[in-house]
Amino acid sequence: MSTPTPTLPSSATTHLLRAALQDRIAGVLIGSALGDAIGLYTEFLTAANAAKAYPAGRFTLGGPSQCHPTPFKLDAHRAPKEPGDWTDDTDHALLLLLSFLHTARTSPNPNPTPDDGEEGGQHPPLPTQKDLAARLRVWVSQGFRPLDTMPLGLGRLVGTVVASQGFDADPESVAREYWERTGRRVAPNGSLMRTHPLGVICMFREEEEGLGVAAALSRVTHVDPRCVVACVIGTRLVRGVVRGEVVGEGDVDVVMGRAVEWFRGTGEELEEEELWRHVRCEGGLDELKLDDQAAIGYVYKTLGSGVMLLRMAIRRTATSRGGLLNRTRLFEDLITDLIMRGGDADTNACFAGALLGGYLGYSALPDHWKHGLKYQEWLLGKSDALCRVLGVMDGDYHGKEDKDTELQGGRPAVSQDEMEGRWMVLQQATFKKMEEVAKETSSKASRSGWSLPWQRAKGKR
Phi, psi of 103 (to 5 degrees): -105, 10
User: Interior CA angle at 355 toward 458 and 217, to 5°?
Assistant: 55
379 closest CA partner among 144, 71, 104, 67: 144
User: For residue 244, how many other CB atoms are within 10 A of its CB?
Assistant: 14
36 assigned binding-site residue: no
346 assigned binding-site residue: yes
d(CA 348, CA 432): 30
3-state DSSP of 311-355: HHHHHHHHHCCCCHHHHHHHHHHHHHHHHCCCCCHHHHHHHHHHH
Are 43 and 72 contacting, i.e. CB atoms less than 8 angstroms apart?
A: no
3 assigned binding-site residue: no
Number of Cα atoms under 13 Å in the Cβ half of residue 393: 22
70 assigned binding-site residue: no
The CA dihedral of 73, 75, 78, 79, to the nearest 10 degrees, is 110
DSSP structure string for 44-72: T--HHHHHHH-TT-------TT-SSPPPP
Number of Cα atoms under 13 Å in the Cβ half of residue 365: 32
Are 236 and 213 contacting, i.e. CB atoms less than 8 angstroms apart?
A: no
347 assigned binding-site residue: yes
Are 337 and 285 contacting, i.e. CB atoms less than 8 angstroms apart?
A: yes
216 closest CA partner among 203, 204, 202: 202
d(CA 268, CA 325): 45
d(CA 85, CA 102): 25
Residue ranges for the known binding site for Mg(2+) are: 87-89, 344, 346-347
Residue ranges for the known binding site are: 87-89, 344, 346-347
